[in-house]
């Protein structure tokens, strides 16, 4: 799957989990850029992504995510 | 060290057997929940009203079962290091005063990356009918 397509699907997950239909994210987006993205919502974002794409990440993987782009890279290599 | 501890904690849910517990919706439970919630809706407090609506007696508060789920999570899991993230419940049959309910809680999915466990639960009455079922998600903290 193309990274742009993955980003679009990840954005839908972010909008649902963070309850913000207007949220726009890009590959450079980090938690500090999004008010609703805190440590608790991060858990729900990871769970939502794992469910949606049928993936299982490791804690080592997700601690290396510096931005949404890194998240999408891991998704792309795992599906 | 903290990281290793969490990994070990999540491991204990992998082979966890179903949690089973018997609950009774006693007068004490009913009154405590009523006072706690402040819900005096006549369906729960007026027999005549409940009968008008087709029930044999006052219907117990559905959310008493959510309180029972809280007990299952807080007291019956193999670790106390847990926190509830989310919970949903679907009611299928009414529950009445002094009903005995058999609760069963089973692991549905484990998200090791974020130390999260999804459970499903159900409550059966003495006739073996499911009165409610649902899902609950916890974090290992």
**pLDDT (tens digit per residue) in B90-106:** 999 999 999 999 999 99
Task: List the 55-74 stretch of A: residues with Cβ below 8 A of B.
Answer: 56-59, 61-62
Residue ranges covered by each domain of chain B: 2-140
d(CA A63, CA A59): 6
d(CA A46, CA B92): 32
Mind listing the pLDDT tens digit for each residue in B11-47? 899 989 999 999 999 999 999 999 999 999 999 999 9
Stretch B109-132: mean pLDDT = 96
d(CA B130, CA B128): 7
pLDDT of residue B9: 79
Nearest Cβ partner for A47 among B3, B7, B114? B114
Closest CA to B83 of B141, B12, B14: B141
**ipTM for the whole predicted complex goes beyond 0.90:** no
Measured CA distances, A17 to A8, A13, A23, A41 (Å): 14, 6, 11, 7
Task: Give the closest-approach CA distance of A57 to chain B in angstroms.
Answer: 6
Cα nearest neighbour of B86 on chain A: A44
Measured CA distances, B68 to A13, B34, B60, B83, B98 (Å): 31, 15, 13, 15, 14
CA B21 to chain centre: 10
pLDDT of residue B1: 40
| Residue A6 pLDDT > 50 | yes
| Residue B3 pLDDT > 60 | no
Spell A25-57 as b/e; 16+ CB within 10 A means b: beeebebeebeebeeebebbbbbbbbeebeeeb
Start-to-end Cα distance in chain B: 14
Phi, psi of B33 (to 5 degrees): -70, -40
Q: B2-140: what fold?
A: Thiol Ester Dehydrase; Chain A (3.10.129)
Helices of type H across B12-140: 27-37, 42-45, 47-52, 63-75
Domains in chain A and their CATH numbers?
3-78 (1.10.1200.10)
Task: Give the closest-approach CA distance of A38 to chain B in angstroms.
Answer: 14
Cα nearest neighbour of A51 on chain B: B111
| Residue A74 tokens, joined | 């891991």
Q: Is A40 on the interface with B (CB under 8 A)?
A: yes
Give yes or no for a contact between B66 and B87, defined as CB atoms under 8 angstroms apart.
yes
pLDDT of residue B70: 98
pLDDT of residue B7: 64
Q: Is A8 on the interface with B (CB under 8 A)?
A: no
Closest CA to B67 of B93, B103, B41, B115: B103
């Amino acid at each position: 799957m193309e990274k742009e397509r993955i980003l679009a699907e990840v954005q839908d997950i972010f909008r649902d989990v963070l309850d913000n239909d207007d949220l726009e994210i890009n590959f450079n987006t980090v938690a500090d850029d999004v008010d609703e993205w805190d440590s608790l919502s991060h858990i729900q974002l990871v769970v939502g992504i794992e469910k949606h794409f049928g993936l299982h990440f490791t804690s080592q993987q997700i601690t290396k995510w510096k931005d949404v782009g890194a998240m999408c890279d891991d998704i792309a290599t795992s599906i | 060290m903290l990281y290793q501890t969490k990994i070990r904690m999540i491991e204990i849910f992998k082979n966890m057997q179903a949690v089973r517990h018997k609950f009774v919706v006693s007068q004490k439970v009913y009154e405590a929940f009523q006072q706690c919630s402040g819900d005096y809706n006549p369906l729960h407090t007026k027999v005549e009203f409940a009968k008008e609506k087709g029930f044999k007696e006052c219907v117990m508060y559905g959310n008493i079962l959510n309180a029972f789920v809280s007990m299952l999570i807080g007291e019956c899991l193999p670790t106390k290091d847990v926190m509830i993230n989310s919970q949903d419940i679907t009611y299928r049959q009414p529950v009445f005063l002094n009903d005995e309910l058999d609760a069963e809680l089973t692991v549905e999915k484990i998200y090791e990356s974020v130390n999260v466990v999804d459970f499903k639960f159900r409550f059966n009455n003495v006739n073996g009918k499911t009165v409610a079922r649902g899902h609950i998600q916890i974090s290992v903290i």
